[in-house]
Amino acid sequence: MKISKRWLFGIVFLAFFMVGCSSDSSGEDAVDLNWASPAGYTPQSPVESDAEYISEKVSEFEEENPDVNLNVDVMANNVNEAMARLMEQAESGRAPDLAAIDGYILPNFYDHLQPLDDLMEEYGIDPDDYLPFAKDVVTGPDGKIYGLYMNTDTRVLFYDTDVIPEPPSTWDEVIEVSTKIQEEGYNGLMLPGGRGEGTSVTTLWPLFWAQGGELTDDDGNPTFGEGENREKMLNVLTTIQEAAEAGAIPQRVSSYGAEGDLDQEVATGKTAMFLGGNWQETVIPDLIGEEEFESWDVAPLPQIEEGTDATSAGGWTWGIFTEDEEKQRAAFDLMARLYMSDQGMGEFNNVFGGLPSRESVFDSEYYKGTKFSDEYREMLEEAQTRPPSPEYSKISTEMQIAISEVISGGKTPEQALDDAWNSVNN
Amino acid sequence: MSNFQSVKSPKIKPGKRAFVNSPFPWLLPLGLILTFVFVYPIFEIIRLSFTDASLLGSDYSYTTESYGRLFGQSEFFSMLLITAIFVSFSVVFQLFFGFIIAFLIDQGQKLDLKGTVIVRTSVLTAWAIPGVIIGIIWRVMYTETEVGIFNSLVGMMGMDLIPFLSDPTIALISVIVANVWRGTAFSMILIYAAIQTLPNDVMEAAKIDGANGLQRLFKVMLPMLAPIILVTLIIISIDTFNTFDMVMALTGGGPGQSTEVIALSIYTTIFREFNLGQGAATSVVLLSINVIMTLVYLKILGRQGEK
C-alpha cells in the first residue's frame, strides 16, 4: 500500500512538472511549424555553403517571427523510401505542416495539399512564370497551384569544340562523329547505360519522349511496351544497340548508372562528348582544368529523328499540408524567403548549383547563372518530368536492365523490351 | 539441506519454489529477447509474403500471388543460378585461402618469423571494412579505362583493357573475387584460432610415427579441425547468401541482371519497386535456402566430424 502511494505521488508530480515545462517553453500564442525535408534542404545540409545559406535565412525568419517554432524533421536518404513514408503519413492524416517532395511525385499528393494561389498572388509570384514542365507539375486537375517548385536541372550533350566543331544532333551523326574522333584517340559518345536512375532520365526517356512516347497512361498504368509506344521504345533500344555495335558507344557504359559515373571518363582527357546533367558543368573544370574547359560547350541531346527535341527535368518542390491558415502563411513566408522569391530562388540556386524553375529568375539580379545558363533555359522549354505513377520505379528499373543488357550484348532489343514489359506486368 | 531451504525462502509456496529452482527464470529474458528480435520478425516476413502489401500504402489483402509471380519468372531461376555460383565459389575460395593464410601464419610463428602479427592484422582489416566501402574500392580498381588500377597494369603489358564490370561473365567473376578478398579474413581467424588449440603431442606423435607433412596435414590436422571448419562453412555460406551491400556498390546487379544475387533482388523489390509482398516472398525463399543448406552441412559434415 505504501508503495502504491509513493508511485501515485510520483506520477502526479511528473504530470505537474511536464505541464509546467510545456507552458513555459511554448507560450500562449506560439505556433509549431513542422518542416520535413531531405537533409540537403535544411540547416543540417552536409554541404557547408548550402547549410550556411539556409541557416542564415532561417535565423532571419525566426527573428522576424518569434512566435513560430520551427521543427525540422530530416527525411531518409533514400528518396523513394522517404516519399513512400510521406505518402503514408499524408494518408493517415499525420503529414508534417510543410514537406519537400520530389518534383515528379508531387501530383500524387494533390489530394492532401493546400492550394497556394492566394498566397502566391500576395507574395507576387506569378504561376505563369514557371517553366512549362514545372507549371504542369504544380497545377492540380482543378487548375489550382499545389506546389512550390524551387529548383530544377536538365540533361544536355557536353562536347569539346576543339575536337568536335559541330555537335551531333541525330544518332546517325553520333555514329559518324564517334568513329571520326576515335581515330584521333578519343572515346566515342559516353553516356549512362547501366543500372541507375541516370540511365533512365539522361539516355532512355529523352529519346522516347522525343518520338511522342508515353511511359504510362493517365491512370498511371504502364504503356511503354504495347502498341505504338512499344515501337517507339524499340526504336530507342535499337538505336542504342546499333551505336554500340558500331563502336560509337563503348560497352563499359553498361556499368555506369549515374551521370556522375562519367566524371572518371572526362578526367582521362580522352572524352570529347558525353550526355550528362547541367550540374556537371561545375565539375568538369576541376577534372580537366579551367583552361581546357574553355573550349567546351553544350547542345541539345541528339535524337533519333532530325528536328525533334526532348530532355528531362528534375528538381524538388514544397507542399503545404496543414489546414491551419496561420501555419500556411508562416510556411509560405519561410519558403518564399529561402527558395521561392526572386531573391530566394536566385541566391539558393547560386549556392546549390541548380537552375531556377521560374523564367524571370534567370534574368534577375540575384541569379548569377553559369556559362551555359541561357542554353539550359532554352532546353528546359522542351523538358518533361517522369510520370507520377506508383509503377514508375519498377518501369525505370526494368528498362535500365534492358538497355544495360542490349549494350553489353546479352539480349536483342526485342528480347530486352519484352522481358522488361513482362516483369513490369507480372 | 532442508534447514538451508527454510532459511533462504521461508514463505515461498512449493509450486513457486519449483519454478524458482528451475532454469526457466534464467531462460525467460533470453526467450523474450529472441521472441521479439528473431521469432516475431520471421513470423511477420512469412505473413507479409502471403499478402500484396506495398510500401506505398497500408492496405493489403492476403494472397499467394507473390509466390506465383516469383516462381513464374524465368529471371528468378537465373538469379538463383547466379547466387549459387556466387556463393559456391566465394565459400570454397574463402575457406581455401583462409586455411592457407592461417596455416602459414601458424608455421611462421613456430619458426619465430617476424611480421606474422602484421600479416594477421592486415588480413583482418579487409573483414573490418564495411561492404559498401569494399564495393567502392573494388569499383575503383576495376575501372575500365587506363586510370583503373588493374587495367593500367594490363595496359602496361600491352594487352587490351579488360571489361571487368561491363561484360556479364567477367562482372560475375569480378564480384566473386572482391567477395573472396572480403571474406577470407573471417575464415582465416576462425581456422587460425582452431589451429592454436590443436594438441602438440598428437602432431608430434604423428611425426614420430613417420607421417610426412602432407599425411600429417590431411590425416591428422584436418580431421581435428573438421568441427571448426564446419562452423566456418555454415557461417560464411549464410553470410555470402545474405550479401548485397558490396554487390550493390560494385555493380548494382548489372550489367543487366548478371550479378543480381537474391539478397540484392530483395532490396530492389522492396525499396526501389516498393513491392513488400513479393520482396517478403523472396526473403522466405532465401531463409529456406539458408536453413536447408545448414541442415545438409550438419548432416553430412557433422557425421564426418564425429567419425
CB atoms under 10 Å from CB of A271, counted, come to 26
3-state secondary structure of A274: strand
Residues of A in contact with B273 (CB under 8 A): 393-394, 397
Q: Where in chain A is the domain with CATH 3.40.190.10?
A: 30-146+316-356, 155-313+388-425
Angle value at C-alpha A278, between A275 and A281, nearest 5 degrees: 95
pLDDT at A5: 56
Give CA–CA dist B177/B171, Å, rounded: 10
Best to test chain B binding among A266, A287, A401 (most B CBs inside 10 Å): A401
Give CA–CA dist A130/A357, Å, rounded: 6
Residue A99 has pLDDT above 50, yes or no: yes
Do A406 and A241 touch, CB atoms closer than 8 A?
yes
Residues of A in contact with B166 (CB under 8 A): 194, 251-255, 407-408
Best to test chain A binding among B273, B274, B275 (most A CBs inside 10 Å): B273
Q: Does B171 touch chain A (CB under 8 A)?
A: yes
The three-state DSSP-derived secondary structure of chain B is CHHHHHHHCCCCCHHHHHHHHCCHHHHHHHHHHHHHHHHHHHHHHHHHHCECCCCCCCCCCECCHHHHHHHHCHHHHHHHHHHHHHHHHHHHHHHHHHHHHHHHHHHHHHCCCCCHHHHHHHHHHHHHCCHHHHHHHHHHHCCCCCCCHHHHHHHHCCCCCCCCCCCHHHHHHHHHHHHHHHHHHHHHHHHHHHHHHCCHHHHHHHHHCCCCHHHHHHHHHHHHHHHHHHHHHHHHHHHHHCCCHHHHHHCCCCCCCCCCCHHHHHHHHHHHCCCHHHHHHHHHHHHHHHHHHHHHHHHHHHHHHHC
pLDDT at A16: 46
pLDDT at B6: 47
pLDDT at A28: 54
Backbone angles phi, psi at A305, to 5 degrees: -110, 140
- Minimal C-alpha gap between A332 and chain B (Å): 27
ipTM (interface predicted TM): 0.79
Give CA–CA dist B135/A149, Å, rounded: 36
Interchain CB distance below 8 Å, A393 and B274: yes
- For B143, which residue in chain A has the nearest alpha carbon? A264
Give CA–CA dist A280/A296, Å, rounded: 12
Residues B216, B219, B224, B229, Cα dihedral to 10°: 100
Over residues B265-299, the pLDDT tens digits come to: 999 888 888 889 999 999 999 999 999 988 988 88
| A2 against A176, higher pLDDT | A176
Q: Which residues of A touch B (CB under 8 A)?
A: 78, 80-81, 84, 87-88, 91-92, 194-196, 251-255, 257, 264-265, 267-268, 270, 390, 393-394, 397, 400-401, 404-405, 407-408, 410-411, 419, 423, 426
- Mean pLDDT, residues B164-174 taken together: 95
Interchain CB distance below 8 Å, B54 and A268: no
- Mean pLDDT, residues A226-249 taken together: 96
Q: Among A215-224, A372-381, B207-216, which stretch is predicted with the lowest mean pLDDT?
A: B207-216
- Mean pLDDT, residues B154-180 taken together: 94
pLDDT at B113: 87
Residue B1 has pLDDT above 50, yes or no: no
Task: Name the CATH superfamily for A30-146+316-356.
Answer: Periplasmic binding protein-like II (3.40.190.10)
- What is the DSSP code (8-state) at residue A291? H
**Locus of grid cell 562528348:** A273
pLDDT at B214: 87
Residue A322 pLDDT level (bands cut at 50, 70, 90): very high
pLDDT at B294: 87
CA distances from A350 to A254, A282, A370, B275 (A): 33, 12, 9, 39
**Locus of grid cell 580537366:** A288
Over residues B74-123, the pLDDT tens digits come to: 889 999 999 999 999 999 999 999 999 999 999 898 888 888 888 888 88
Domains of chain B: 2-49 (no CATH), 68-306 (1.10.3720.10)
Residue B107 C-alpha cell reads as 608455421
- Minimal C-alpha gap between A196 and chain B (Å): 8
- For A88, which residue in chain B has the nearest alpha carbon? B57
Residue B12 has pLDDT above 80, yes or no: no
3-state helix, strand, coil in chain A (%, to 5): 55, 15, 35
Residue A334 has pLDDT above 90, yes or no: yes
- What is the DSSP code (8-state) at residue A76? P
Backbone angles phi, psi at B274, to 5 degrees: 65, 15
Give CA–CA dist A38/A166, Å, rounded: 40
3-state secondary structure of A217: coil
Minimal Cβ distance to A252: which of B55, B163, B274: B163
Over residues A288-299, the pLDDT tens digits come to: 999 999 999 999
pLDDT at B200: 86
Amino acid letter at A80? N
Interchain CB distance below 8 Å, A78 and B271: yes
Over residues A11-69, the pLDDT tens digits come to: 554 554 444 444 444 445 788 999 999 999 999 999 999 999 999 999 999 999 999 99
Task: Name the CATH superfamily for A155-313+388-425.
Answer: Periplasmic binding protein-like II (3.40.190.10)
